[in-house]
Amino acid sequence: MSFNSFGRVFRVTTWGESHGPALGATVDGCPPGVALDEGAIQPWLDRRRPGQNRYTTQRREPDAVEILSGVYEGCTTGTPIQLMIRNTDQRSKDYGDIADSFRPGHADLAYFQKYGLRDPRGGGRSSARETAARVAAGAVARAVLDDLVPGLTMQGYMVQMGPHRVDPARLDPAEVDRNPFWCPDPVAAEAWARELDALRKAGNSVGAVIEVVARGVPAGLGAPVYGKLDADLAAAMMSINAVKGVEIGAGFGAASLTGVENADEIHMSGEEGGERPVYASNHAGGVLGGLATGQDLVVRFAVKPTSSILTPRASITRTGDAVDLVTKGRHDPCVGIRAVPVGEAMMACVLLDHLLLHRAQCGEGVRGVIGPA
């Protein structure tokens, strides 16, 4: 069932509300014997942490993670890892006036219609604050992946803010950490800064597209037909707050291609002594038939503009009266920015889960080697 869990072997359950005492993740199924402590998790949380620059919410949360179980003397034991993050800067009064109204673009009304009641403080469970727990869980997944697949790397970045896309000719992975937008294109980053300043001043917000790429994924991860690697990635990314679309490789662009254009031709790598199949292009985005091809795994997802804005929008109250709502509080003018580390974390969790699934069914040995008989 598992409303609040994802993963099969490496299974993460998150819990907690935006303005409750704490939130966290219960991580079950983690392999034993992996070095782990708070110090290995905190840096990833710090990347997602609010209040770091003027483009993200000014809520001040240290987001300090505590490991409550599953680790002994700096090593995972194979038992559940409880990761807890205390909420410290809950200004629930910011939300007092919307307890009986429903913010447009938010889940307020749908929650009320589903459950008959809701925690209105900051959106409660539907707040993007939940993604801190994902990042913490993702950091655990990374630590395990580092152990099991040393060459595997993951990087997320923004490729579009509002209608403005990065220029593929200027993409530079090294740029990603140099600006507050995780933008790989330095020219675009400057333009985005101006754009976002203007939007913020106007009490408005904007959407974005994030791309996450994993390199060094072993060929064969994934499974037919409902355990497909891309299906799990789609669910993982779509489950992130405000995400409205997910695509793999050529994605929606594949609809416009012909079969001749789209086929990624295959040849041997030509490496002396270590020849292996490689592809001439990567329209597939690293997945065919739900299985990793060993190419770069390329996932993009679209994030809608932050719904909490200072411009009044029409809505209703619990008694059905019309109301104009301005969402005060402290909000991200482009929630897509902080979605970058979240997308990376989800990628890490999905890949580790599939790695463990694969060795469950197929073992650790390499199968299906191509070469002279």
Site for a copy of itself contains 162 (CB under 8 A): yes
* Residues 268 and 277 sit within 8 Å (Cβ to Cβ): yes
Site for a copy of itself contains 261 (CB under 8 A): yes
Site for a copy of itself contains 284 (CB under 8 A): yes
From candidates 186, 275, 282, 296, binder to a copy of itself by CB under 8 A? 275
Which positions from 90 through 119 interact with a copy of itself, judged by CB under 8 A?
A: 102, 104-107, 109-119
Site for a copy of itself contains 21 (CB under 8 A): yes
Site for a copy of itself contains 298 (CB under 8 A): no
Which positions from 302 through 341 interact with a copy of itself, judged by CB under 8 A?
A: 302-309, 311, 313-316, 318-320, 322, 336
State the minimum distance, in angstroms, from the CB of residue 335 to a copy of itself. 9
Pair of tokens at residue 163: 């209608």
Pair of tokens at residue 63: 């987001």
From candidates 193, 199, 339, 340, binder to a copy of itself by CB under 8 A? 199
Residues 6+ apart with CB under 8 A from 249: 282, 283, 284, 285, 286, 287, 298
Site for a copy of itself contains 130 (CB under 8 A): yes
Site for a copy of itself contains 129 (CB under 8 A): no
Site for a copy of itself contains 175 (CB under 8 A): no
Site for a copy of itself contains 39 (CB under 8 A): no
Q: Which residue has the tokens 């299985």?
A: 291
State the minimum distance, in angstroms, from the CB of residue 43 to a copy of itself. 22
State the minimum distance, in angstroms, from the CB of residue 235 to a copy of itself. 4
Phi, psi for 149 (deg, rounded to 5): -135, 75
Buried b or exposed e, range 21-40, using 16+ CB within 10 angstroms: eebbbbbbbbbeebebeeeb
Q: Give the span between the Cα atoms of 188 and 79, in whole angstroms.
A: 45
State the minimum distance, in angstroms, from the CB of residue 212 to a copy of itself. 15
- Which residue's CB is nearer to a copy of itself, number 174 or number 370? 370
Q: Give the span between the Cα atoms of 123 and 146, in whole angstroms.
A: 35
Site for a copy of itself contains 26 (CB under 8 A): yes
Site for a copy of itself contains 54 (CB under 8 A): no
Pair of tokens at residue 156: 């997320």
SS3 160: strand
State the minimum distance, in angstroms, from the CB of residue 170 to a copy of itself. 19
Site for a copy of itself contains 81 (CB under 8 A): yes
Q: Give the span between the Cα atoms of 364 and 349, in whole angstroms.
A: 19
Give the interface size with a copy of itself as a residue count (CB under 8 A): 165
Question: In DSSP terms, which residues pair with 164 in a beta bridge?
Answer: 161
Site for a copy of itself contains 282 (CB under 8 A): no
* Window of 29-37, 46-54, 56-64, 180-188 that interacts with a copy of itself by CB under 8 A: 29-37
CA-closest candidate to residue 288, choices 202, 192, 215, 223: 223
15 to 134, 196, 288, 331: CA distances (angstroms): 10, 32, 34, 22
Q: Give the span between the Cα atoms of 82 and 125, in whole angstroms.
A: 18
Entry field: residues in the chain: 373
From candidates 37, 38, 66, 296, binder to a copy of itself by CB under 8 A? 66
State the minimum distance, in angstroms, from the CB of residue 246 to a copy of itself. 6
Which positions from 211 through 230 interact with a copy of itself, judged by CB under 8 A?
A: 219-228, 230
